[in-house]
């Protein structure tokens, strides 16, 4: 469970923004969405390989500039 301490003099909107950021960083919503349907191990592996290839290509482009 996430706990957010509202600091003295801090607006509730600011505290809510911190809570949303913390929640997003825990990737809880992403886990819930992934568990809605079963994905085969081979599909997960393929997805991670594609992601790694994309990252490598992106970083290589960054180095070229």
Q: Is residue 53 part of a domain?
A: yes
Question: What pLDDT does residue 36 have?
Answer: 95
Q: Is residue 36 part of a domain?
A: yes
Number of domains, the chain: 1
Q: Is residue 3 part of a domain?
A: no
As a whole number of angstroms, the distance between CA 39 and CA 28 comes to 18
One digit per residue, the tens of pLDDT, for the chain of length 65 reads 888 899 999 999 999 999 999 999 999 999 999 999 999 999 999 999 999 999 999 999 988 87
Indicate the pTM of the whole model.
0.55
Angle at 35 between CA 32 and CA 38, to 5 degrees: 160
Sequence-separated (6 or more) residues with CB below 8 Å from residue 15: 4, 6, 7
CA 9 to chain centre: 30
Q: Is residue 46 part of a domain?
A: yes
Sequence-separated (6 or more) residues with CB below 8 Å from residue 6: 12, 15
Q: Is residue 1 part of a domain?
A: no
Domain with 39, as residue range(s), is: 12-64
């Amino acid at each position: 469970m996430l706990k957010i301490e509202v600091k003295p003099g801090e607006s509730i909107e600011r505290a809510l923004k911190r809570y949303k950021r913390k929640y997003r960083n825990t990737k809880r919503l992403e886990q819930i969405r992934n568990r809605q349907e079963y994905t085969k191990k081979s599909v997960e592996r393929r997805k991670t390989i594609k992601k790694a290839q994309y990252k490598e290509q992106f970083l290589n482009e960054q180095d070229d500039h």
